[in-house]
Amino acid sequence: MSSKGKVAIVTGASRGIGRAIATLLASNGFAVVVNFVSKPAEAEGVVQEIISTGGKATAIRADVSKPAEVTRLFEETTRQFGGVDVLVNNAGVLELKSIAETSEELFERTLSINLVGTFNAMKAAGTALRSGGRIINLSTTIVALALPNYGAYAASKAGVELLTKVMAKELRGRNITVNAVAPGPTATDLFMQGKTPEQIDTFRKLAPLERLGEPEDIARVVAFLASENSGWVNGQIIRANGGIA
């Protein structure tokens, strides 16, 4: 699935699923922009890992919740690599609270990054992507499971799924696909934080495959959607969750 000469932006790519996506796309021939907000050393570590294996990458700081910074992200990518072919909207936050306990600040922050940030990047990609481009959003299987304490997070990602389906239709005639990947429980710092070993074990047993997903499991699905092999997949939500839902 080589994509030599193409360029991908991966938001929130300094660790976890984003890091796995960035390194896999680079190994498939993409020049990769490792987007980050607050962890420059980790982002640069991803860049150096890609470069050390012969790939092309750069790290660009941008807060996706701010339209002006998203515009700068796309402009800087084009300046360095000549254009943009793939956008992977991976940046996100998660904090578990019941709806009754969710503060206005937490709700607004969750939507600002997870939903508004995805919207801002999709909007920029709508005019910036070259023909044959791909927009790949990250949702969550929590949208299907509707588990307690995930209210703000699930609401933000449900919005992402609807934006995915709408924009796939809006780009008619542009030869650009828009899809989303909805991971199940995946062994990342974001998932592990705030959970007891017993809670993690419960999640592990939910899937018929009886394990947590790994970041590489999700990255491989994203890499397929970024490739030419996925050209007939459009407007879809792929639940990469080991069979949980």
C-alpha span between 15 and 41 (Å, rounded): 11
Supply the pLDDT for residue 195. 86
Supply the pLDDT for residue 239. 97
Residue 156's closest CA among 179, 169, 138, 136? Answer: 138
Supply the pLDDT for residue 3. 75
C-alpha span between 197 and 34 (Å, rounded): 31
Mean pLDDT (10-residue bins), the chain, 245 residues: 84 97 97 96 98 98 98 98 98 96 98 98 98 98 96 98 98 98 93 88 93 97 97 98 93
Selected catalytic residue, list 30, 36, 150, 153: 153
Asked about 153 being catalytic, the answer comes back as yes
pTM higher than the cut 0.85: yes
For 103-128, letters b (16+ CB in 10 Å) and e give eeeebebbbbbbbbbbbbbbebbbeb
Supply the pLDDT for residue 2. 58
Residue 49's closest CA among 29, 72, 19, 75? Answer: 19
Which residue is listed with tokens 């660009």? 60
DSSP labels for 30-94?
Answer: -EEEEEESS-HHHHHHHHHHHHHTT-EEEEEE--TTSHHHHHHHHHHHHHHHS-EEEEEE-----
Q: Is the Cβ–Cβ distance between 138 and 181 less than 8 Å?
A: yes
Question: Domains along the chain?
Answer: 7-185+216-238 (3.40.50.720)
Q: How far is CA 13 from the centre of its chain?
A: 8
The angle at the Cα of 106, spanning 93 to 203, to the nearest 5 degrees, equals: 50
